[in-house]
Amino acid sequence: MIGAGFMGAAHSQGWRVAPRFFDLPVQPTMQVLAGRDLASVERTAQKWGWAEASDDWREVIARDDIDLVDIVTPGDTHAEIAIAALEAGKHVLCEKPLANTVDEAQAMADAAARAAERGIRAMVGFTYRRVPAVTLARDLVAAGRIGDVRQVRAAYRQDWLRDESGPMTWRLEKHRAGSGALGDIGAHAVDLAEYITGLRLERVSGVLETVVAERPLLGERIGLSGTASEEVGTVTVDDVAIFTGRFSSAAGFAPIGTFEATRFATGRKNSLTIEVSGSRGAIAFDIERLNELEFYDAGDPDLEQGFRTILATEPGHPYMAAWWPAGHMLGYEHGFSHQVVELVTSIADGVAPSPSFSDGLHLQRVLDAVERSSAGDAAWTTVER
């Protein structure tokens, strides 16, 4: 695994736990953790359960005993690392969004297509797909339980930037992060909407806003000890993204979606919600109620209609047979274990994992279309094919 931050911890949990609860066709070994500062990476590797540490990802990729590379670094390094790993014959898992630009994502998708001809697999890490209630939602929609999809509402709201005195981080720099709330969390909302409905966004109209344009630099970034300094850095990404979209036609009608991604929703720490309305019913999911799915059946008798709560913890629900007795809850970290299951099983079976780098490229084009729309006074903008 290359990268040793927040996502590194989550992915490590997935690699460590999945083989102990699921009967995987092959057994992953957590061999090497790579990062920039060797002393720090060594401590982290021991803490998370990796056998070795390295400060040279190129050397790690070149090793014959490494079969798969998991990339959890900032977006500006995804393309270089992923392409090098694929060309070296390694399977690749890359965190979302796939890249910082459409051109980078295209190069990664092309490299993945070439590697697939040699049996090498690549997957992008949209982990919320692996929440049992979300997978169940997808299954219900695919089975026609809500009829034809008519409308989608999705929002990802956080408030960690509401304090304008909060310091600069790499997530606020376009050259490192690619975009702000749009790519960091809005990408999840878009992916869930497309995953659950089975439809793809074709046109978008939206606006991006940077609420706080300057923030104090951390002391270590300008060679000083301590925390914040009097010097400021310029925020070059969006803080808020709001847009509408038209999906591909379903039953002769192109459903519409509304999307919001913000880091300024005061009081919302990590709120991801999605609701899909159809001709025969609806589903609704809220990540703050991770184990529950709301389901509405318009065919119920008039006096019995209303959303009902499905507790997605039964053995027959997606992924749940490997875990605890019914009614015992799962948490945020379990999605990363399910991601490992899907990737390792796909590699062993010789099939393309999902979401693929091609899927990641499509989503990058959606993000790009939203940016272009915002620059053009929210004009309707086509998502490139």
Distance, CA of 222 to CA of 206 (rounded, Å): 36
Is residue 354 a part of any domain in this protein? no
Count how many domains the chain has: 2
Alpha carbon of residue 30 to chain centroid? 22
Same domain, 309 and 234: yes
Q: Which residue range is the domain that position 323 belongs to?
A: 132-289+291-330
Q: Give the residues across from 203 on adjacent strands.
A: 246, 382
Mean pLDDT of 99-122: 98
Same domain, 114 and 150: no
What is the SS3 assignment for 257-305?
A: EEEEEECCCCCCCCEEEEEEEECCEEEEEEHHHCCEEEEEECCCCHHHC
Model confidence, pTM: 0.95
Distance, CA of 365 to CA of 359 (rounded, Å): 10
Same domain, 255 and 194: yes
Same domain, 167 and 304: yes
Which whole-number Å values give the CA distances from 81 to 201, 212, 382, 384, in the listed order?
Answer: 29, 32, 30, 25
CATH of the domain at 111: 3.40.50.720
Q: Which residues contact 225 (CB under 8 A, 6 or more apart)?
A: 219
Distance, CA of 85 to CA of 68 (rounded, Å): 8
Residue with tokens 């005993």: 65
Same domain, 184 and 326: yes
pLDDT tens, position by position, 133-177: 999 999 999 999 999 999 999 999 999 999 999 999 999 999 999
Is residue 338 a part of any domain in this protein? no
Q: How many CB atoms lie within 10 A of CB 326?
A: 12
Same domain, 192 and 92: no
Tell which of 281, 309, 330 closes a domain. 330
- Binned at pLDDT 50, 70 and 90, residue 84 comes out as very high
The predicted structure's pLDDT at residue 228: 57
The predicted structure's pLDDT at residue 224: 44
Average pLDDT over all residues of the chain: 95
Percent of the chain at pLDDT > 70 equals 97
The predicted structure's pLDDT at residue 222: 44
pLDDT tens, position by position, 255-312: 999 999 999 999 999 999 999 999 999 999 999 999 999 999 999 999 999 999 999 9
